[in-house]
Amino acid sequence: MPLIITILVLYIAVAVGIGVYCNRKAKTVNEYVLGGRSVGPWITAFAYGTSYFSAVIFVGYAGKFGWNFGVSSTWVGIGNCIIGSLMAWAIMGRRTRVMSKHLESATMPEFFEKRYLSKTLKTVAAIIVFIFLIPYTASVYNGLSRLFEMVFSIDYSVCVIAMAVVTAVYVILGGYKATAYNDFVQGIIMLIGIAAVVVATLNSKGGFYEALNQMSQIPNENGVMAGMQGAYASFFGPDPINLLGVVILTSLGTWGLPQMVTKFYTIKDERSIKSGTVVSTIFALIVAGGCYFLGGFGRIFVAPDENGNPVGGFDSIIPTMLEKLPDLLIGVVVVLVLSASMSTLSSLVLTSSSSITLDLIKPAMKGKLDEKKQLIVLRAFVAVFLVISVIIALNKNALISDLMGYSWGALAGAFLAPFLYGILWKKTTKASVWVSFVIGIGVTVLHLVLSSMKLLSGTFLGFTVASPVNLGAFTMIVSLIVVPLVSLITPKMKKADVDRIFSCYDKTVTVRQREAITAGMEEIAAEKTYGHDVVGFTDDGIPIEKRNRTGQPPVKKNKKKKKK
């Protein structure tokens, strides 16, 4: 216990220290919310990955879906790697950075306003962000606190409140850069921790082959392919249809989540795109793949009850699997899950507070909110958001996977299609965005009400109707189909407006920005041609010279050779 506490205290000290250090670099709204759009490739990639994966994945999803699908749940991690990271960066990264900078949008709701020329869209989107990020935040608290209860025997509510306080301190102090730098540290811990925990846990059962052999002896209990021996050790598991729903929600969902998409806003240059794509993909493969692979062996660690569910509930599976690890590894696990959770929490609270402040309060004040006051309000709403999330998280009986399913279903169902088509397709209309909002929010709320009344049951095309996870996958797919169809039959935006918005892709620098972000390339080209005294060019191609303190070009002195 002293060793675990020492590791934990050291980690918290580093996190808070980074917040204090970054406080000096968070003096403007742009620096506080976006890090000045100057975050390097590795920091951006780790910020993306650590915001993606948290205690929700490690404790909630890995446990529940590992139990339901066995070793085939590893496909979820592979989907997160290919669809949620590689394809997201390749398709959305560069275009999001270019257009968000062109439109000077700092949040996703602000993007909707300037892309579709509607202040009402921004207001509604900001409200959606604030409301539906709260259950996701609560699920993160829930997952971490269950693990802390197991290790420290500390009351659940104390864990929730303590974590909220630590997160609040470094986010309020340092903003996005504090979050991003902490994400880098947390990401390294997650990579090392996952690898060590997977190896140690399987070794406790005699190694991989022995653990897989034990899994193959378990008969299927889900009613799907009933009686199939070894289904939990098979390639696609006992229920491949519902497994597909999980892959879609957790992989495609990142394309429409504001806390994930805004990571692309902060990209510094073209090198960051290429490096970020590679690093975030490898990160997702190790972390998500490792989590779901580990969870797939849950049935040989936890016994089922009379109903076929795990004793202690789904959220207790992973903590139970880790109980007998050596003390040092328990310490690693605690810091691993704390790192994953705090990185996601910091991203969520910053996204929510910036949406409320910049998209709702600032317009309502009509110019009365200067830069300094905006920062005060931003920091205040970080605290408000955390308090509300803590209150919800104190309901210990809420299932982690359900909280996350509803949150992702509503947000990605509403935002994914309008944002994706908004950066790719000129013909996307404002009416189609409203339809997408109605689908994402309306269907999610209706499902939540009917589920609470126990009016949903059975399957449709093999998918479990009552599952919040399948609901989220459904809203995203439907929205992706409906938005282009509605855009074809509803009034188009004015051609001049659309051409102005999309002109950013055709701005000629070294190459078209559709192919490369060229921040810094003009300076490099100028230096090679004209030397160190030229730092760039005007729009007319005239060289720009360095300036001295008087604002004049530097005077070049001719050095005379001294006569011997």
Predicted confidence (pLDDT) per residue in 88-124, tens digit: 999 998 899 899 889 988 889 899 999 999 999 999 9
Q: What was the pLDDT predicted at 425?
A: 92
133 shares a domain with 170: yes
Q: Which range, of 103-117, 220-234, 429-443, averages the lowest pLDDT?
A: 220-234
Q: Which residues lie closer than 8 Å to 174 by C-beta, 6 or more apart?
A: 18, 19, 20, 21, 22, 23, 25, 26, 181
Tokens of 353: 């507070």
pLDDT in tens, 366-378: 777 777 788 888 8
CB 201 within 8 A of CB 332: no
Flag whether 394 is in a domain: yes
The kind and range of the H/E element at 464 are strand 463-464
Task: Identify each DSSP E strand in 201-282 by its residue range.
Answer: none
Flag whether 26 is in a domain: no
373 shares a domain with 322: yes
239 shares a domain with 138: yes
Tokens of 360: 């709702």
Q: What is the mean pLDDT of residues 224-242?
A: 73
Q: How far apart are CA 116 and CA 421, in angstroms?
A: 11
CB 370 within 8 A of CB 378: no
Q: What was the pLDDT predicted at 549?
A: 41
- 3 state DSSP class of 531: coil
pLDDT in tens, 442-477: 999 898 888 878 777 777 777 788 888 888 889 999
Q: How far is CA 251 from the centre of its chain?
A: 11
431 shares a domain with 503: no
Q: What was the pLDDT predicted at 386?
A: 78
Flag whether 50 is in a domain: yes
Residue whose structure tokens are 């605690």: 334
311 shares a domain with 175: yes
508 shares a domain with 440: no
pLDDT in tens, 515-544: 556 544 444 454 445 444 544 444 444 455
Q: How far apart are CA 143 and CA 336, in angstroms?
A: 12
Tell me the one-letter amino acid at 117: L
Flag whether 558 is in a domain: no
> Is residue 400's pLDDT more than 70?
no
Closest among 101, 108, 87, 91 to 433, alpha carbons compared: 108
Q: Which residues lie closer than 8 Å to 197 by C-beta, 6 or more apart?
A: 290, 294, 322, 325, 329, 332, 333, 336
Instruction: Give the C-alpha distances (Å, rounded to integers) separating 379 from 35, 135, 384.
Output: 15, 20, 9
Q: What is the mean pLDDT of residues 501-513?
A: 73
Q: What was the pLDDT predicted at 439?
A: 94
> Is residue 13's pLDDT more than 50?
yes
Give phi and psi for 516, each to the nearest 5.
-160, 140
> Is residue 551's pLDDT more than 70?
no
Overall residue count recorded for the chain in this entry: 564
Q: How far apart are CA 254 and CA 242, in angstroms?
A: 19
Q: What was the pLDDT predicted at 396?
A: 60
Q: b/e for 61-87, b at 16 or more Cβ within 10 A?
A: bbbbbbbbbbbbbbbbbbbbbbbbbbb
Tell me the one-letter amino acid at 464: T
Q: How far apart are CA 182 and CA 188, in angstroms?
A: 10
Q: What is the mean pLDDT of residues 275-290?
A: 89
Q: Is 237 left (phi over 0), alpha (psi -120 to 50) or beta?
A: left
Q: What is the mean pLDDT of residues 358-371?
A: 78
Tokens of 180: 């991003």
> Is residue 401's pLDDT more than 70?
no
Of 226 and 2, which is predicted with more confidence?
Answer: 2
CB 429 within 8 A of CB 493: yes
Identify the CATH number of the domain in which residue 313 sits.
1.20.1730.10
pLDDT in tens, 151-165: 667 776 777 777 778
Tokens of 397: 């009986």
Flag whether 361 is in a domain: yes
372 shares a domain with 313: yes
Q: What is the mean pLDDT of residues 313-328?
A: 78
Q: How far apart are CA 157 and CA 140, in angstroms?
A: 13
Of 532 and 418, which is predicted with more confidence?
Answer: 418
Supply the range of the domain harboring residue 540: 499-545
Q: How far apart are CA 27 and CA 359, in angstroms?
A: 19
CB 302 within 8 A of CB 63: no
414 shares a domain with 464: yes
538 shares a domain with 435: no
Q: What was the pLDDT predicted at 502?
A: 92
Q: What was the pLDDT predicted at 535?
A: 47
Q: What was the pLDDT predicted at 514?
A: 59
Q: How far apart are CA 377 and CA 361, in angstroms?
A: 9
- 3 state DSSP class of 544: strand
Q: C-alpha angle with apex 181: 46 to 107, nearest 5 degrees? A: 75
Q: How far apart are CA 130 and CA 123, in angstroms?
A: 11
Q: What was the pLDDT predicted at 138?
A: 73
Q: What was the pLDDT predicted at 395?
A: 65
Flag whether 2 is in a domain: no
272 shares a domain with 303: yes
Q: What was the pLDDT predicted at 480?
A: 95
Give phi and psi for 559, each to the nearest 5.
-85, 125
Q: What was the pLDDT predicted at 471?
A: 87
Number of domains in the chain: 2
> Is residue 68's pLDDT more than 80?
yes
437 shares a domain with 519: no
Q: How far apart are CA 402 and CA 398, in angstroms?
A: 8
The kind and range of the H/E element at 274 are helix 270-295
> Is residue 548's pLDDT more than 50?
no
pLDDT in tens, 196-212: 888 888 888 888 889 88
Q: How far apart are CA 398 and CA 417, in angstroms?
A: 29
Of 150 and 68, which is predicted with more confidence?
Answer: 68
Q: How far apart are CA 15 and CA 46, in angstroms?
A: 15
Flag whether 23 is in a domain: no
Instruction: Give the C-alpha distances (Å, rounded to integers) separating 330 from 83, 160, 185, 323.
Output: 32, 19, 19, 8
> Is residue 508's pLDDT more than 80?
no
Burial of 121 (0-12, 13-18, 19+ CB in 10 A): buried
CB 185 within 8 A of CB 14: yes
Flag whether 234 is in a domain: yes
- Please give the DSSP secondary-structure letter assigned to residue 310: B
Q: How far apart are CA 204 and CA 119, in angstroms?
A: 58
- Please give the DSSP secondary-structure letter assigned to residue 564: -
Q: How far apart are CA 267 and CA 40, in angstroms?
A: 7
493 shares a domain with 503: no
Q: What is the mean pLDDT of residues 266-276?
A: 79
**Mean pLDDT across the chain:** 79
Q: What is the mean pLDDT of residues 347-358?
A: 79
Q: What was the pLDDT predicted at 346?
A: 75
